[in-house]
Structure 1
Amino acid sequence: MRRRTIIAAPMLALVVAALSGCGSSVKFAAPAQVTKTSVAMNSMATANVGDPILSEVAYKAQPGAVIHDGVSGFYKMARFNVPAGTSLVKASMGEAEWFCSRPPMVFSAMGVPMGPACFRDKAGDGSFDEMDNGISGFGASSISPIPYSKTDVLLGDESRKELIYQGTANNVLRLSYREYNSSIQRPEFTQDVTYTLSGKDDEIIFKGARFLIHSVANNILQYTPISTIAKQ
């Protein structure tokens, strides 16, 4: 669904601001390294043959949001077009929390970039209800509600590490380790390892990841992950 918001203001003021170098007041959230695991540490889990007993995904990201409905039209006589599915990055203008496009999405009638398209959920109800273009001195304007959802905005590729259960025979536990990069479908690195189990609650360690192996019945592994794979 597409929404159109029309807000009037003198074009001359916008052009003068663009030519005079009126700076952006947007401060984007700092990037952070994010790591997510497939299982919770120190909680008992089970795995069938071929299942990962631990999968880790790591990536660099900024907190952000995805706009669900496209919005286009005029903002204070500047034109804008923000398609549905556009990723917005968390930002601040003053004390308020906003979500802004990284590239400029607000332009003057002459095509001069005016700044990012910024949205705010002032009511806190899961819909953006204010818009700003991030240029100091123009201020926010109310808009028709636009639903959104919060998400991480990835910066570059993500990496994935998996330790996969390959079965147990004669008390020998077999695991396969794989490393992936999001830009490559096949594993960049693989390694097969085995562990001889001596009884209940055997502890195994691989690349810093620690597990307690509780039991194996009908090739179903019951275990508790203690720590994640160490950074290399």
Structure 2
Amino acid sequence: MQKKIGVILVVSFLTGCATPVYNYQAQSKQMSKPPIGSINTAYVGDKMLEQGVFTDREVLRVDSPTKVNMFYSLTPGNYLKTGQSNQGIFYSAFNQIENGGNVQKNPLADPIKALMLSADGKLCVVSVLNAKNCTNQHQAKTSVVGVASDNSFQQTLIYSGKVGQKINIGYREFSSNLARPAFNNDVEYDLNDSFEIGYKGALLEILDANNQKITYRVIRNFNK
């Protein structure tokens, strides 16, 4: 009987209550990068040109695996902000974005509802019962990242390497952050013909290229 009471007291000590809120709204914007006229270097597999609708989102950045307690832990990555109240700032526990982080739980733990950075700086996992499990042993930091919008459309050019005097460029389209296979294409350009290459309105001047990297100047992006 004494052991059971001890367990209940420990669990009560680890948990409190928090009610997640969802009052955060981020603003979307059209983005083209790199800037027109800029000189840039991209390595094989890197994006040379990118255009689309992006959103600057406030996030909680977790740089290393973080254990909250025996029930919950966090993987490294970015956690999207969902709202804020006098209790603290709330974030999504599961993040399907590039470099997104996720909260993990012990099989015996309650399902996860949200992540919270409390007003006193503690990192807390909030369960579906609004119970919070917190730790002050963390290095999480607030930050801002650009995220592709849910209803967005992006276009990119990717450097794929060089063979002789010919360079290979990949074109990719993404809708709602998912690739559109029917609109993907790989194009080969012969630098003996011209040092300017174009695709779907975009125009680049190639300054130097080898099978590891390419240096280029942006003359025009896809829409300007």
Please identify the structure whose Cα radius of gyration is greater.
Answer: 1
TM-score by length of 2: 0.49
Q: TM-score, normalised by structure 1?
A: 0.48
